[in-house]
Amino acid sequence: MLPTLRRSRPPRVFARYYAKPSGLSAKPAENVVPEPSLKQEKPAIPEIPPLQRPLGVSDVPTTAVKTWSQRGDDFFNQEKQLDKRKHLVKEASTGYFYDLHMTRVHGGKTWLAPSVLIRQDKALYFPDITGSRLNDGIKTHTTTLCSGRISVISMLSTKISEYHASSYTDRVNEMYQDHPSYQYVQINLQENLLKSLLVNLFLSSLRSSVPSRLQPTYLVSRQNMEYVREQLGMVNTRIGYVYLVDEMLKVRWAACADAKPEEQEALLRGVGVLLNRTKKEKKNASP
């Protein structure tokens, strides 16, 4: 028989060899840097600030085409050239997907609409935008279309922008659509040449989706808005913008992205106030 082999046991470890010396403290060393936690805290999402300034342009809008002398004056105007340089620097430092990335925060909403109307003496003008009417294709200026009337103007560029605009305008259109001094203007703005061509190809489909009563005030435009976007607060090309413009073509209220309940109420109140004022002015002006 083969002799059985005994399994060797691990050597015994005596606690007294590993006991802490009586002179040392159990406190951790002061100079030891604690290891960083593997869990990274998510940065806090900033709150949406209210609109801080009136939106619009300082020059009175006009349908007249600038002459060569006026263009020369603009070229030598240091203030305007400085504004263009600032705009070009900002555009050069902005990534191609910046607008898409910003929609992940608050749905692209960068400011809250004011709760009251902007004072008329502080308000700025809505710029002249040229487009073709959806019903007959006739070239139309917003300056001519909106002069003398209270207008709610929606700036549309994507499908999501249409939903944004509807969240503001559905209630106000239902309430005031029959008022003679009120109108709803939609501007389908496609600055990109390819997108503009696609929109023109599908005009028949667009007409079928827009109610016939709104087609005379629906403009399809490819106007370059590069130098007035910042002034109108249109800092994101993916979302929708809504403006309340009075009979003097001044922007009295504005909103962007998806509507909050208080913003819907503010637009309803604002339209009602302006319509009542125009009614009183016409009554006082009549003999």
Sequence-ordered list of residues with C-beta below 8 angstroms from that of 86, at least 6 positions apart, any chain: none
Whether 18 shows a pLDDT value over 90: the answer reads no
Contact 185, 153 (CB under 8 A): yes
**Amino acid identity for residue 163 in this structure:** Y
pLDDT of residue 81: 66
- pTM for this model (two decimals): 0.77
Instruction: Please tell me which residue, 113 or 37, carries the higher pLDDT value.
Output: 113
Whether 57 shows a pLDDT value over 70: the answer reads yes
Residue range 226-243: mean pLDDT, rounded: 91
pLDDT of residue 47: 86
* Exposed / middle / buried, residue 191 (Cβ in 10 Å: 0-12, 13-18, 19+): middle
Place of tokens 């190809």: 201
Residue range 44-61: mean pLDDT, rounded: 89
Instruction: Summarize pLDDT for 191-214 with one digit per residue, the tens.
Output: 776 777 777 777 888 889 999 999
Residue range 88-115: mean pLDDT, rounded: 68
pLDDT of residue 19: 47
Sequence-ordered list of residues with C-beta below 8 angstroms from that of 70, at least 6 positions apart, any chain: none
257: left (phi over 0), alpha (psi -120 to 50) or beta: left
Backbone angles phi, psi at 48, to 5 degrees: -80, 120
The mean predicted confidence, pLDDT, of the chain is: 82
Residue range 59-75: mean pLDDT, rounded: 75
Give dist(CA 192, CA 277) in Å, integer. 40
Instruction: Please tell me which residue, 69 or 267, carries the higher pLDDT value.
Output: 267
Q: Which two tokens stand for residue 86?
A: 């600032």
pLDDT of residue 259: 95
Place of tokens 């969240």: 167
Which of 5-9, 71-75, 173-177 has the least mean pLDDT?
5-9
CB atoms within 10 A of CB 47: 8
> Each residue of 93-105: b (16+ CB within 10 Å) or e?
eeeeeebeebeee
Instruction: Please tell me which residue, 66 or 146, carries the higher pLDDT value.
Output: 146
pLDDT of residue 280: 85
Residue-range domains of the chain with CATH? 68-285 (3.40.30.10)
